[in-house]
Amino acid sequence: MVKNAVARIALLDRIMYFMGIAIPILTSSQVLKIWLSKNADGVSLLAWATYAINSILWVYYGKLHRKKPVIFANLMCFVINIMVVIGTIIYS
Residue 86 has pLDDT above 90, yes or no: yes
Q: In whole angstroms, what is the distance from residue 80 CA to residue 15 CA?
A: 20
Number of structural domains in the chain: 1
CATH at 31: 1.20.1280.290
pLDDT band at residue 1 using 50, 70 and 90 as cut-offs: low
Average pLDDT of the segment spanning 41-48: 96
Contacts of 72 (CB under 8 A, 6+ apart): 16, 17, 20
pTM, 2 dp: 0.83
Residue 2 has pLDDT above 90, yes or no: no
pLDDT score recorded for residue 29:
92
Residue 56 has pLDDT above 70, yes or no: yes
Domain that holds residue 48: 2-91
Residue 69 has pLDDT above 90, yes or no: no
